[in-house]
């Protein structure tokens, strides 16, 4: 059986690497920043808060030791 080169043996297929999680979160930040251009005041505040949480999440993941 041929194994996906990105899949780690013993890990489920749905496993997301730290690098992939960071890339996905950074993409979400960029998309939210685009949405902010068209957002009303309440939505703008919501998106800004969400992006701050995303940035903190990225920092936490980068600081985690490899398991």
Q: Could you read off the pLDDT of 2-60 as tens digits, one per residue?
A: 445 555 666 666 678 899 999 999 999 999 999 999 999 999 999 999 999 999 999 99
The full set of domain ranges for the chain reads 18-62
Show Cβ contacts of residue 6 under 8 Å, excluding neighbours closer than 6 positions: 17
Show Cβ contacts of residue 16 under 8 Å, excluding neighbours closer than 6 positions: 24
Q: What is the pTM of this model?
A: 0.74
């Amino acid at each position: 059986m041929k194994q996906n080169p990105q899949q780690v043996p013993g890990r489920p297929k749905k496993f997301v690497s730290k690098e992939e999680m960071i890339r996905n979160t950074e993409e979400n930040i960029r998309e939210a920043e685009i949405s902010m251009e068209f957002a009303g005041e309440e939505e703008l505040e919501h998106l800004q808060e969400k992006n701050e949480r995303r940035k903190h999440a990225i920092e936490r993941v980068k600081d985690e030791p490899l398991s």
